[in-house]
Amino acid sequence: MKRALGLALAAAALAASASAGGLWDALFDGDSDGSSGGFSAAVAALTGEAASVKPVRKADDRYWVTVRIDGKSARTRAASLGLSIESVEGSLVGGVADLSTLKRLKDAGIEVQSRRALSGFRPEDFPPADGIYHNYGEIVSELQSISSAGSGFVSAFSIGTSVQGRAIPGLRLGYPSRDGRAKPAAAFLGAHHAREHLSTEVPLLLARWIAEHAREARVKRLLETRDIYILPVINPDGVEYDIATGNYRWQRKNLKDNGDGSVGVDLNRNYDFRFGGEGASDYPGSDTYHGPSAFSEPETRAVRSFVEALPNLKLMVSYHTFSELVMYPWGGADEPISDGRALAAFKAMAERAAQWTGYRAMQSSELYVATGDTCDWAWAAKGIFCLTFELTPKSQGQGGFYPGSGAVGPTVQKNIEPALYLIDLADDPYRAANATAMAAPKEAGI
C-alpha cells in the first residue's frame, strides 16, 4: 500500500464491491461523457447486476491464532479440537479457529499466544520489495485517478463482479465521436491468472501513459478516432488471495468453491470455444480446471457481456506472464485459422509486436494446445483479432511469475508501442498485412 489516499479509496472500493451499489457508483460514475450509447446502456445493466450481489460470507467469528504446542500428538489433539493448522515453526503453531474452538483449546489447557480476527483482516499487500505493484484497492484508486485527470475523455466503470463480489473494474479512453457513431475499439485485459501480476501493470500503466500523453498528436488522433478499453484485473479475488499473506501463494484460478473441497476455475479455460477439450482439466483441484460449463464463472461472463455490448470492438489483447511471446489463435487446435487473409494479418501484427518487444510471435497452440481460452473464443465467436501476450520474463530462472519491481518499468515501456499500433489497427485489423500500415516507433517519436 503506497499512500493514504490509496488506503481510503481501497477501503471504499472494497466495501462497495461487497455491498455493491452506492460507493462504487460514487467512485465510478460510468459513462460520464455520454459517447458510445450502446456501451452506456450496457454499463447501466452491468451496474444493476452488481447491485444484486449478496455479501460473500456471513459474519465471520474466526481468528488467526498462534499457540504453543509441542509435538505431533499434541498438534493432532489441537486439530481434533477444531484448530485448522496452517503453519508449524518449532513449537509455535499458527492456524485458524472460531470462537467455540478457542474455548475448547482454552479448556484443554492450550494457551493462545496471539489472535487476530479474520473479519478485520484487510488484504495484506505485496511484499515490501514489490510494493510498486498495485493490489486491488490500488488498481481501483489508480483507475479513478486516471479518470479524474483525463476528464472529458476517460471514464471508469465496472463490467460485473467476481465470485467473492469484487467489482471487475475498467476504463474507457477516447473523446466522444464527432459524428455520434460508435468508434472502432480495442481492449486490453489483464490478470485472468492471479499470480501474473505484471499482466495487470501493463494495461493499467498503459492507460496512465495514454492519459498523460493525450496532447501529443499521435495519441490525440487515436483518442479522437478510437475507443480504448482497459480491464486490468479480470480475476480480482485470485489476485488478492495471491498476496493476502504477504507471501505469494502462486494462485492461478478464481476463488469459486467447487463443492468437492477444491477451489478455483481456470478462467482461461472457461470460454466457449472447444470448451473442455485438450489442455484443460476435468479435475476441479487442477490448476487448469475448465469449470463445470463454459462461462460458468462470473468473471468470464462479465467479459462476455462487455464484449457483446461493443459491436465495434475489433481488437483485443489478453496479457499473461511469462515467456515473452505474442500469440494468435488457435490455441485449442494445431491447425491454423481457416481464413487465410485473417491469418496473414494475425501473423503480421504478432510479428510487428514481437519486433518491438523482443518477444517471439507464434500460434498459441505451438506453446501447447489448450482449449477454452479468451482469444480462441473472441476470434471464433466474435471475429475479434485477439492476441495473447506472455510478458516478461523469459524463464523461471529470471523470476517467473514474480520477477520483482525492476521488471515493471521496462516491461510497460516496451509494450506501449505495440499497444498503440494495435489500437490504430482497430479500424481495420486486416491492414496489418500491409507493411506500411504504421510508422515505426522512432518515426512516431517514442
Residues that bind ligand 0X9 (CB under 6 A): 193, 196, 268, 320, 327, 331-332, 364-365, 367-368, 370, 373, 388, 390
**Shortest distance (Å) from residue 332 CB to Zn ion:** 15
d(CA 391, CA 401): 10
The residue among 158 and 323 lying less far from ligand 0X9, judged by its C-beta, is: 323
In the block, cell 468508434 appears at 183
**Shortest distance (Å) from residue 341 CB to Zn ion:** 29
Which entry of Zn ion, ligand 0X9, none binds 299, CB below 5 to 8 A by partner kind?
A: none
DSSP class of residue 73 equals H
From residue 148 to residue 187, what is the string marking binding to Zn ion with x (rule CB under 5 A)? ----------------------------------------
**Shortest distance (Å) from residue 320 CB to ligand 0X9:** 3
List Cα–Cα distances, 392 to 235, 403, 404, 417, in angstroms. Answer: 20, 8, 11, 16
Query: What Rg do the C-alpha atoms of the chain give, in angstroms?
Result: 23
Q: Check if the beta carbon of residue 265 is closer than 8 Å to that of residue 289.
A: yes
Angle between helices 217-225 and 408-425 (to 10 degrees): 50
The residue among 28 and 241 lying less far from ligand 0X9, judged by its C-beta, is: 241
CA angle 182, 219, 37 (to 5 degrees): 20
Q: Which of 71, 22, 77 is nearest to 47 (CA)?
A: 22
The end-to-end CA distance of the chain, in Å, is 31
d(CA 433, CA 73): 69
The residue among 17 and 268 lying less far from ligand 0X9, judged by its C-beta, is: 268
Q: Check if the beta carbon of residue 351 is closer than 8 Å to that of residue 248.
A: no
Q: Check if the beta carbon of residue 170 is closer than 8 Å to that of residue 230.
A: yes
What nine digits make up the cell of 58? 456471513
**Shortest distance (Å) from residue 307 CB to ligand 0X9:** 18
Residue with the shortest CB distance to ligand 0X9: 331
Q: For the chain, how many residues are written?
A: 446
Residues numbered 366 to 425 that lie near Zn ion (CB under 5 A) are none
Q: Which of 201, 297, 390, 417 is catalytic?
A: 390
Write the DSSP string, 297-356.
Answer: SHHHHHHHHHHHT-TTEEEEEEEEESS-EEEES-SS-SSPPS-HHHHHHHHHHHHHHHHH
Residue with the shortest CB distance to Zn ion: 320
Which entry of Zn ion, ligand 0X9, none binds 297, CB below 5 to 8 A by partner kind?
A: none
Which entry of Zn ion, ligand 0X9, none binds 420, CB below 5 to 8 A by partner kind?
A: none
Which entry of Zn ion, ligand 0X9, none binds 327, CB below 5 to 8 A by partner kind?
A: ligand 0X9
Residues numbered 54 to 73 that lie near Zn ion (CB under 5 A) are none
Which entry of ligand 0X9, Zn ion, none binds 373, CB below 5 to 8 A by partner kind?
A: ligand 0X9
The residue among 290 and 320 lying less far from Zn ion, judged by its C-beta, is: 320
Q: Check if the beta carbon of residue 40 is closer than 8 Å to that of residue 33.
A: no
The residue among 39 and 389 lying less far from ligand 0X9, judged by its C-beta, is: 389
Residues numbered 319 to 338 that lie near Zn ion (CB under 5 A) are 320
Beta strand 227-231 pairing with 112-117: unpaired
Q: Is 212 a catalytic residue?
A: no
**Shortest distance (Å) from residue 388 CB to ligand 0X9:** 5
The residue among 32 and 288 lying less far from Zn ion, judged by its C-beta, is: 288
- Strand boundaries in 190-312, DSSP class E: 227-231
**Shortest distance (Å) from residue 242 CB to Zn ion:** 13
Q: Which of 16, 42, 113, 56 is nearest to 313 (CA)?
A: 42
The answer to whether residue 269 forms part of the interface with Zn ion (CB under 5 A) is no
The residue among 39 and 346 lying less far from ligand 0X9, judged by its C-beta, is: 346
Which entry of ligand 0X9, Zn ion, none binds 331, CB below 5 to 8 A by partner kind?
A: ligand 0X9
**Shortest distance (Å) from residue 193 CB to Zn ion:** 4
Residues numbered 193 to 252 that lie near Zn ion (CB under 5 A) are 193, 196
Residues numbered 181 to 200 that lie near Zn ion (CB under 5 A) are 193, 196
Output phi, psi for 364, to 5 deg.
-50, -40
**Shortest distance (Å) from residue 376 CB to ligand 0X9:** 7
What nine digits make up the cell of 41? 446502456
Which entry of ligand 0X9, Zn ion, none binds 298, CB below 5 to 8 A by partner kind?
A: none
Bridge partners (DSSP) of residue 161 are: 167
| Residues sharing a CB contact under 8 Å with residue 200, sequence separation 6 or more, in sequence order | 133, 134, 139, 190, 191, 232, 233, 239, 319
| b (16+ CB within 10 A) / e for 365-394 | bebebbbbbbbbbbbbebebbbbbbbbbbb
Q: Which of 434, 438, 333, 342 is nearest to 382 (CA)?
A: 342
The residue among 194 and 206 lying less far from Zn ion, judged by its C-beta, is: 194
Where on the chain is the footprint of Zn ion (CB under 5 A)? 193, 196, 320
Q: Which residues are catalytic?
A: 390
